[in-house]
A and B are shown apart, each in its own frame.
Chain A
Amino acid sequence: MIALLTGLLSTAVLAGSVLALAAQGEVMAERTGVTSLGTEGIMSIGAVVAVLTVMEYPDPWLGFVAAMIAGGLAGAIFAFAVVILRANQVLCGLATTFLGIGLSAAMGHSVAGLPVPVTFTPVHIPLLSAIPLIGPAFFSQNILVCLICFVLPAGLHHLLFRTRHGLNLRAVGENPAAADAAGISVAGFRFWYTVLGTSLAGGAGACLSLAVIPGWTEGMVSGRGWIAVALVIFAGFRPVNAVLAGLVFGLISALGFLGQAESWPVAAPVLNMFPYLGTLGFIILPVVLWPGIRRIFAAPAALGEPYYREVR
């Protein structure tokens, strides 16, 4: 029983860390007021770039960094369109998703279905990995899981809520006109944090193709990007909650894997619906059951709205 639970938790953390990383990137972009709906496409690009890189230079970290750079570059195009030109964010996000999925399939044509030479290998952290249940799940995975689940959220939380820079960042998302009047560069914050968000999404793609499902296959991201976008709402736009939400959904998909492995009397496609239905439930139910949550976990007031200095 313990072995089963440990296995389940390990799978959950591994699958959840991908969502957690992408969701944290999305939190940063949305905190500045940019809805970055291209996550799905950017994760695809990250996944394929990581695989292509390790095929050439077999080092997973190099693949991860290349995926982050590719995600950042794709995000820079998106950010230029929505922040500098101020085009519609929903449309440009969808366009980025189409572009990302289409381009990644074209780029990955030659490596589709091939095994990757290297993946992120598990590292046992002394002492911590000896903790029952949690130890194997968090501290006997690849080191990236530790970074995504503990180091990055702590850093982002500190940045957002404990520094002046973070206060400025949130001001840009809540009231860009006031931030602008205070001498904060609205376009600068929005552009660079959107790029940061998409480069984390690119990294999440690398995580997926180098650790969770090694190798590239067309459509392997299969909605994880969209789930990450949805988790941000559920997480109330907070990095630490985004990690928790990612892990919860890792657990839901791990239950699906477990069901297939243990041959539960439920068809595989039905098990695969769980993460999507779960996300749907987690977005709708809290608001229905406890309407006050909307005030506490409110979205940034200027989310999705382009800022024009000359328009009041």
Chain B
Amino acid sequence: MAHWQRFPTAPAHLVFLWRMAAVLTTAVITAIALAISGRNPFELAELVGRSAIGSRFGLEDLALFMTPLILTGSAVTITRRIGLWNIGAEGQFYLGAAGAAAVGLYVPGPSLLVVPLMAIAAMLCGMAWILIPTLARAYAAVSEIITTLLLNFVAALLVYWLVTGPWRDRVTGALVSTQHIHAAIPEMWGVVHYGFPAALLVACGVSVLLGRTSWGYEVRISGANPGAAEYAGMPMRRRIISVMLLSGALAALAGMFEVAGTVHRLQGGMANNFGYLGIVVAVLARGSCLAVIPAALLMAFILDAGIVMQTQQLAATTVLAITGLVLMLIAAGDELAHYRPVRTTPPAGTIERNVSA
């Protein structure tokens, strides 16, 4: 006799197996959907493989996509460790991009001086953007999910207003964009800029901060068992505030890297869902800041595949649907990983008694 029982912990190998199943299922469903819409899924898969991994351009794109995803993924991960959700990374990304652009546009000087200033301005803007949801959460227990999310729309509109109004490109007349920003993060390998190794370093730094400092310890305890943290006299409110502000700063840094390293302008819609995808990255990483790096790689690969699909006349949002599917299945898989079969051997004589009864 055996039955499935739910355990409070999910062992890593089961999580891995269920997730593999989730990714495979997504691939199969996507292939079927493509076949129904009259495309050959195998040809497409080969094309994706060839251009995303098999070519230098593909690899460069992969690194460029990974850079913001690592940062927004880390931003969401640290809030998960204290038991909160930062759904507003998209908005903080925009604000970081806007703050960086403000410095880039109006502060003259060599890149060496201006770029660090851009980073500081970006992080301050990101922290300012998450400040109201943070205080509402810490002092009035208002759910941070909705408040951070609503500000995403405001941030997108704010950047749209900036790039069509006061900061619009008066040099080349590019639409929904500022003029070219000269201060830039130098490139190291093709179009890949030093923001990529910087993002990797930041992820490692956050990991050390969470895993090896007393601040990180208190954050983890506050997330895992708020009652125990309070009883132990840990300053929960201050930890919530510092985690959320750090999260905002990290997401904003992603926006700054995008402006100074990749796009060299502030553009409307430039966040490209990187903030929302950061949530997916954080979920994939299961709360580990180092696991954010491979998770960002997987997400970057999906985005890369999306670009290849766009060249094959598939809607750009197909990739969003695929992301949604993979997220849903992984959420289900993570829950199913809690279940294990348990052998139930009835005590001797039970069966006979049951039969007679």
The residues of A with any CB-CB pair to B shorter than 8 Å are 37, 41, 77-78, 81, 85-88, 90-92, 94-103, 105-106, 109, 218, 222-223, 226-227, 229-230, 233, 267, 269-270, 272-273, 276-277, 279-280, 283-284, 287-288, 291, 294, 308, 310-311
Q: Tell me which of A102, A223, A230, A270 has the highest count of chain B C-beta atoms within 10 A of its own C-beta.
A: A102
Interface string of B239-283 (1 = CB under 8 A from A): 000000000000000000000000000000000000010010001
In contact, B324 and A226 (Cβ under 8 angstroms): no
In contact, A102 and B321 (Cβ under 8 angstroms): yes
Query: Given A41-B324, A87-B331, are A272 and B157 also a contact pair (CB < 8 Å)?
Result: yes
Chain B residue at minimal CB-CB distance from A311: B6
Give min CB distance, A228 to chain B, whole Å: 11
Residue of A81, A273, A280, A287 touching B332 (CB-CB under 8 A): A81
Chain B residue at minimal CB-CB distance from A226: B149
Given contacts A91-B327, A95-B324, 6 further A-B contacts (CB under 8 A): A85-B335, A94-B87, A223-B153, A229-B146, A280-B147, A287-B136
With the chains together, A98 CA to B306 CA distance in Å?
14
With the chains together, A2 CA to B87 CA distance in Å?
42
Q: Which residues of the other chain, B, contact A280 by a CB distance below 8 angstroms?
A: 132, 147, 150-151, 154
Residue of A81, A226, A291, A310 touching B146 (CB-CB under 8 A): A226
Give min CB distance, B31 to chain A, whole Å: 15
With the chains together, A233 CA to B308 CA distance in Å?
42
In contact, A269 and B164 (Cβ under 8 angstroms): yes
In contact, B334 and A102 (Cβ under 8 angstroms): no
In contact, B161 and A283 (Cβ under 8 angstroms): no
In contact, B85 and A90 (Cβ under 8 angstroms): yes
Chain B residue at minimal CB-CB distance from A35: B145
Q: Which residues of the other chain, A, contact B132 by a CB distance below 8 angstroms?
A: 280, 284
In contact, B321 and A103 (Cβ under 8 angstroms): yes
With the chains together, A269 CA to B325 CA distance in Å?
32
In contact, A99 and B335 (Cβ under 8 angstroms): no
Q: Which residues of the other chain, A, contact B318 by a CB distance below 8 angstroms?
A: 102, 106
Q: Which residues of the other chain, B, contact A97 by a CB distance below 8 angstroms?
A: 324
Give min CB distance, A218 to chain B, whole Å: 7
The answer, yes or no, to whether B165 is at the interface (CB within 8 Å) is yes
Could you give 21 example pairs across A and B, Cβ below 8 Å? Answer: A87-B335, A92-B331, A94-B87, A95-B325, A98-B276, A98-B323, A99-B328, A102-B322, A102-B323, A103-B321, A105-B315, A105-B317, A223-B153, A226-B150, A226-B153, A227-B150, A269-B164, A280-B154, A283-B147, A284-B140, A308-B6
With the chains together, A88 CA to B320 CA distance in Å?
20
In contact, A273 and B324 (Cβ under 8 angstroms): no
The answer, yes or no, to whether B112 is at the interface (CB within 8 Å) is no
Interface secondary structure of B, over-half rule: helix
With the chains together, A311 CA to B8 CA distance in Å?
9
The answer, yes or no, to whether B336 is at the interface (CB within 8 Å) is yes
With the chains together, A269 CA to B142 CA distance in Å?
27
In contact, A99 and B283 (Cβ under 8 angstroms): no
In contact, B150 and A276 (Cβ under 8 angstroms): yes
Q: Which residues of the other chain, B, contact A222 by a CB distance below 8 angstroms?
A: 153
With the chains together, A105 CA to B315 CA distance in Å?
7
In contact, A98 and B321 (Cβ under 8 angstroms): yes
Chain B residue at minimal CB-CB distance from A102: B321
Those of B305-351 within 8 Å (CB) of chain A? 314-325, 327-328, 330-332, 334-336
Those of B61-105 within 8 Å (CB) of chain A? 85, 87
Q: Which residues of the other chain, B, contact A294 by a CB distance below 8 angstroms?
A: 141
The answer, yes or no, to whether B143 is at the interface (CB within 8 Å) is yes
In contact, B328 and A95 (Cβ under 8 angstroms): yes
Residue of A90, A276, A283 touching B142 (CB-CB under 8 A): A283
With the chains together, A276 CA to B327 CA distance in Å?
26
In contact, B142 and A88 (Cβ under 8 angstroms): no
Chain B residue at minimal CB-CB distance from A308: B6
Give min CB distance, B138 to chain A, whole Å: 12
Q: Which residues of the other chain, A, contact B10 by a CB distance below 8 angstroms?
A: none
Q: Which residues of the other chain, A, contact B145 by a CB distance below 8 angstroms?
A: 37, 90
In contact, A273 and B146 (Cβ under 8 angstroms): no
Q: Which residues of the other chain, B, contact A230 by a CB distance below 8 angstroms?
A: 146, 150
In contact, B335 and A88 (Cβ under 8 angstroms): yes
Q: Which residues of the other chain, A, contact B196 by a CB distance below 8 angstroms?
A: none
Q: Which residues of the other chain, B, contact A90 by a CB distance below 8 angstroms?
A: 85, 145
In contact, A233 and B143 (Cβ under 8 angstroms): yes
Interface string of B117-142 (1 = CB under 8 A from A): 00000000000000010001000111
Give min CB distance, A301 to chain B, whole Å: 14
With the chains together, A92 CA to B335 CA distance in Å?
12
The answer, yes or no, to whether B158 is at the interface (CB within 8 Å) is yes
With the chains together, A277 CA to B157 CA distance in Å?
11
Residue of A267, A284, A310 touching B6 (CB-CB under 8 A): A310
In contact, A288 and B140 (Cβ under 8 angstroms): yes
Give min CB distance, A233 to chain B, whole Å: 7
Residue of B158, B283, B314 touching A269 (CB-CB under 8 A): B158
Give min CB distance, A36 to chain B, whole Å: 13
In contact, B154 and A273 (Cβ under 8 angstroms): yes
Chain B residue at minimal CB-CB distance from A278: B150
The answer, yes or no, to whether B160 is at the interface (CB within 8 Å) is yes
Q: Which residues of the other chain, B, contact A109 by a CB distance below 8 angstroms?
A: 315
Q: Which residues of the other chain, A, contact B150 by a CB distance below 8 angstroms?
A: 223, 226-227, 230, 276-277, 279-280
Query: Given A109-B315, A272-B157, are A81 and B331 also a contact pair (CB < 8 Å)?
Result: yes
With the chains together, A294 CA to B136 CA distance in Å?
13
With the chains together, A311 CA to B151 CA distance in Å?
37
